[in-house]
Chains A and B, each alone.
Chain A
Amino acid sequence: MLPLSLAVLPWGILFGSLAVQRGFSWLEAQLFSGVIFGGAVQIVTVELIADNSSLLTVLFTAFIISSRHFLYGLSLRERLSPQPLRWRLSLGFLLTDELFALSGHRRAYLGKLRLYYGLAAGGSFYLAWNLWTFVGIVAGASLPDLTDLGLDFAIAATFIALVVPGIKSLATLAAVLTAATASVIFTLWHFELGLICAALLAMMVGYTVNKLSGKWGGGS
């Protein structure tokens, strides 16, 4: 779990410094990481709020970014739903991409010891995320050009690491290319709902290509 806690370092620092530079107080910035606890959703919504987007846009964008979590919950449902409420609440709160990536083991969350392991792993991400956010807040307040240092590229590289190995079908490739193209166009247009529309469009393209390739007997 330590390497993964280090992997959120550029994220936390970028988020903390970005929030301070976009006019949020240090308390607000820390609160984002303390109660929301999500990398992509925090970075995107901080920009939207600072650009005076409507509350509905901010919330809907957060919902679309978070929609992948439904699948995480679904795949852990059988194991976690019979557990007492305190386990469901705590592990649910901590269920990030990183924790889910560690949940692939066939015996994950089976038995008390493995539940505690999940809690320790998730909790350590939480602490790391908040610590790096705090470092970012302090650094962002004293080094105004921190966001120009290429931390945004570190975010992009992390996303590439998450996306590229998952492209195993024509449908996923089509979805990724659609999302990228549409999102760039919408950004150039200053379209407030751009991220939502690009993601939804890409999901529909992936879905359609999957159905079509099945019909033609190819693809997966």
Chain B
Amino acid sequence: MTLLTILLLAGITFGTRYLFLEGRLPVRLGPNLRLLLSYSGPSVLAAILAPILLVRSEQLDLSLSNPYLWGAAAAVTAAYKTGNIYWTIGAGMLVFIAVGQLI
């Protein structure tokens, strides 16, 4: 069962990557669907990301003792200022670990 699920998942990820590389595909996406899809990346990533930061043991944790929030604040600042993936991860991890040690 798990094996079948894995293979089906592989079919989905490969299908979405390969679909438009196939030249004979007659499908064209209209400008509205393209516009909608252009928000897919940031929306999916934000939807995965937010609960990692804010939900601790099934509770909303907006307290100042949540190291994930401090780390995220540092990462957002670094991402905004530098736009560089390594600075962002580095600054975020540093603050996350430092705050985690202090609390």
User: Do A and B interact with each other, yes or no?
Assistant: yes
A interface residues, Cβ below 8 angstroms from B: 3, 7, 24, 28, 31-32, 35-38, 40-41, 43-45, 49, 55, 58-59, 62-74, 76-77, 80-82, 88-89, 91-93, 95, 97, 150, 152-167, 171-172, 175-184, 187-188, 195, 198-200, 202-204, 206-207, 210
Contact B93 A153 (CB under 8 A): yes
Q: Is B103 an interface residue (CB 8 A)?
A: no
Among residues of B, the one whose C-beta sits closest to the C-beta of A74 is: B20
* Interface hits, B74-89 → A, CB 8 Å: 75-76, 79-80, 83-86, 88-89
11 examples of A-B residue contacts, CB within 8 angstroms: A7-B86, A59-B12, A64-B40, A67-B40, A69-B17, A70-B16, A80-B21, A156-B53, A159-B45, A188-B55, A202-B47
Shortest Cβ gap from A197 to chain B (Å): 9
B interface residues, Cβ below 8 angstroms from A: 2-3, 5-10, 12-14, 16-23, 29, 32, 34-55, 58-60, 67-68, 71-72, 75-76, 79-80, 83-86, 88-89, 92-93, 96-97, 100
Interface residues of A, dominant DSSP: helix
Knowing A89-B18, A188-B60, say if A35 contacts B6 (CB, 8 Å): yes
Interface residues of B, dominant DSSP: helix
Among residues of B, the one whose C-beta sits closest to the C-beta of A99 is: B17
Beyond A38-B13, A67-B44, A161-B85, 6 additional pairs, beta carbon < 8 A: A35-B10, A37-B13, A59-B8, A164-B79, A165-B80, A206-B38
Task: For the complex, give the distance between the alpha carbons of A43 and B93 in Å.
Answer: 20
Contact A181 B50 (CB under 8 A): yes
Contact A36 B49 (CB under 8 A): no
